[in-house]
Each structure stands twice: as C-alpha cells, then as structure tokens.
Amino acid sequence: MSLSAGERLGPYEIVSQIGAGGMGEVYLAKDTRLGREVAVKISNQQFTERFEREARAIASLNHPNICGLFDVGPNFLVMEYVEGEAPKGPLPLDEVLRIARQIADALSEAHEKGITHRDLKPANIKLKPDGTVKVLDFGLAKLSPGREDASSDQAATQSPTLSMAATQAGMILVPQPTWLRNRLS
C-alpha cells in the first residue's frame, strides 16, 4: 500500500515516505489532532501477525531510548517521529561508549519486560540532534512466553525463513544488556 503526500489515514496526513523494507513502508505524517509530526508504519498484509506483535512489544515499553507508540490501526502503527540519523563511520571511543550505554539501557528495559529485539543494527538506531539515542523497529521482536498469545508465537516459529533470519540476527547482533552494561561501567 503506497501512499502519497496529502493522503490521510484517519487524523494522520501523509507528508512523505521516509523508509521502506520487506515488511512495509514508513511515512512522515502530521497528526492533525495534536499538531505534531509522527511516523506511520504500514504493514504488508503477509506480516500482519508480526506487526501486531511489534505493536504489543512497543506498547509495553516506556523508555527515553525506545521509540514510542502513539496509535494503532488496521495494518498501521503511529509512532514517535525521531529526527536524526543512524550512526555512521568510525566514531571516537567516548562517543561509542555514550551511544552503547543508551542502547544497553533500552535493551535492558525491553528484556526486563520479556522482549528481545532480534534486529539490532545501525539502521534501527537513531541519534537525535541533542545526543539522545533511540532504538527503533521492534518488528522482529520476540516476546517471552506469557507475553503473547500462542497462535501468534506458533505462526512466527513455523515460518522457517523469517524465524531463522530473526534468530540469526538476534544471536549475532544482540549481546545481553547486563553484560554490555557491566563492560561499559
């Protein structure tokens, strides 16, 4: 579902497309009720269950280093619009440590709530102009047992291609937040 500038999803007026991937598209939009910029993530139909899992994961988190969820609709999420860029190129050690501490804090919060990100990479990290780090895109998140219904968990594990990719990404890219925090202290 591709949207153009000026189109609306309820009170959200599309400004421009800011991202696209295998699971859908992300748009910068204006929340006409509250007068703020938001990010609207639209899901491709085949990823509806994963999209719902992402919404549940984000909704249970409230942390300054995790992108917030404002609203949900049929096949779309309305999230905090995070102005900034992904980390690029070599960075000074003190900057790397500052960024890593904020990422570790965000992941620690998620893990305490039974959520594993499983897709942590530079593209899913934004550095805001004020230096705050935001972790984005919980689309491959895994909720611990009891945090999601069995049918959506079973559907995720029965998709070998998607599950294997998600598991490999999590195993390779996501160290335990407590280990990382201890190493950085």
- Please give the positions annotated as active site: 119
User: Shortest CA distance to 135 belongs to which of 121, 154, 114?
Assistant: 121
What phi and psi values does residue 145 have, to the nearest 5 degrees? -50, 140
What six digits make up the tokens of 35?
């007068």
Pairwise CA distance, residues 140 & 167, whole Å: 9
Pairwise CA distance, residues 21 & 36, whole Å: 25
Q: How many CB atoms lie within 10 A of CB 109?
A: 19
What phi and psi values does residue 113 have, to the nearest 5 degrees? -95, 5
Q: For 23-180, where are the E strands, in sequence order?
A: 24-31, 36-43, 69-73, 76-80, 115-116, 125-127, 133-135, 142-143
Cβ density class 112-136: b for 16+ within 10 Å, e for less: eeebbbbbbeeebbbbeeeeebbbb
